[in-house]
Amino acid sequence: MKIQLYGVRGSLPDSDQPQKRIITTENLLNEFSKSPIPDAGEFLKSVPNLISGGLGTGTTSIYVKSNNTEDLLIDGGSGIRRLGDEMSSSGRFKAAPIHILMTHFHWDHLIGLPFFSPLYQSEAEIHFHCVQGFSEEALKTVFKKPFFPVPFKMLKSNIKFHTLNPRVVNEINGFNVIPYKLQHPDPCWGFKIEKNGKVYSHCVDNEGDKMSREALGEDLPIYQNVDLCYFDAQYSVSDFFDRPNWGHSTAQIGLEIGMREGIKQMLFAHHDPASTAEQILEMASELEVFYKNKLTQSEEKNLGLKPVKWEYAQEGTVFEL
């Protein structure tokens, strides 16, 4: 199973301002001129990915792929435009039905759908899946005038809507998909996706304030027996405490859950539109201190916390499970 990140921003598509990227580039060129590494390509490999490439602009769009036609898309954030264009140019749109899982219907998870090119192809069959059961109404709203000039009825593809059963296995295009409720207004459902014994857990958007096993209750399994977990880390720790009930979390919460439940790898995502790559790197160095302290505490007090591989998500990255 491959997981490819097409959009990792939260709330609104945004990127560092061009002027800011120029300053970053200038700083990189200065560092390169002083570096003992003679080759520019080799030098870039020595720089953190987030600094050389930025976080990316797109809002939530994740591609889960097992083979050429066994695949799932998660959410229709602005990142889905590029994925749709790739599916159109490769011919994937006519090879087999496309399945899109929707976590919820906040704008940042819908905004790319009018630009998802397979929707306009008569040979495409597209299935939308959600727990909430109102994906048809929500999708038609996106295409209503005066919000968008092309009405829903003009879409040429064959579109179908499905309601998922929560907390049980739903078999979709060769994957086992189990929806669990996240802590988010309106509400939002995360997905635990299993294929060939590997598990991807999608936990965005999520405030994560219910942390204990007791508080998580019937939704705890979304964090158990997981290879890769995509977790909401929109805020720094201080912003998290300033913004109660805004529906987003901080990486420290995810890491603590991951260490307790033995998640193998965590991706921190749904970056605030105002966050720059430099700010995310600062958050990562604070998180590294937190992580090492937790491991030390666990050893001293025999808490049983497990080591977790973690990083902050960057658009375009591919993970293989």
| Radius of gyration of the chain from its Cα atoms, rounded to whole angstroms | 20
Q: Which is nearer to Zn ion, 108 or 207 (CB)?
A: 108
Residue 96 near residue 69, CB atoms below 8 Å: yes
Binding piece for Zn ion, criterion CB under 5 A, among 15-23, 105-113, 152-160, 207-215: 105-113
Show the site string, 4-23: x = touches Zn ion by CB under 5 A, - = not.
Answer: ------x-------------
207 near Zn ion, judged by CB under 5 A: no
272 near Zn ion, judged by CB under 5 A: no
Distance from chain centroid for Cα 258: 16
The least distance separating Zn ion from the CB of residue 48, rounded to whole angstroms, comes to 25
By Cβ distance, which residue is nearest to Zn ion? 106
106 near Zn ion, judged by CB under 5 A: yes
The least distance separating Zn ion from the CB of residue 303, rounded to whole angstroms, comes to 32
The least distance separating Zn ion from the CB of residue 212, rounded to whole angstroms, comes to 23
Q: Which is nearer to Zn ion, 178 or 203 (CB)?
A: 203
The least distance separating Zn ion from the CB of residue 107, rounded to whole angstroms, comes to 8
One residue of 16, 71, 75, 108 binding Zn ion per CB under 5 A: 108
One residue of 16, 194, 205, 272 binding Zn ion per CB under 5 A: 205
Binding piece for Zn ion, criterion CB under 5 A, among 83-91, 99-107, 210-218, 259-267: 99-107
Binding piece for Zn ion, criterion CB under 5 A, among 82-90, 202-210, 273-281, 289-297: 202-210
Judged by CB under 5 A, the number of residues near Zn ion is: 4
The residues that touch Zn ion, with contacts defined as CB under 5 A, are 10, 106, 108, 205
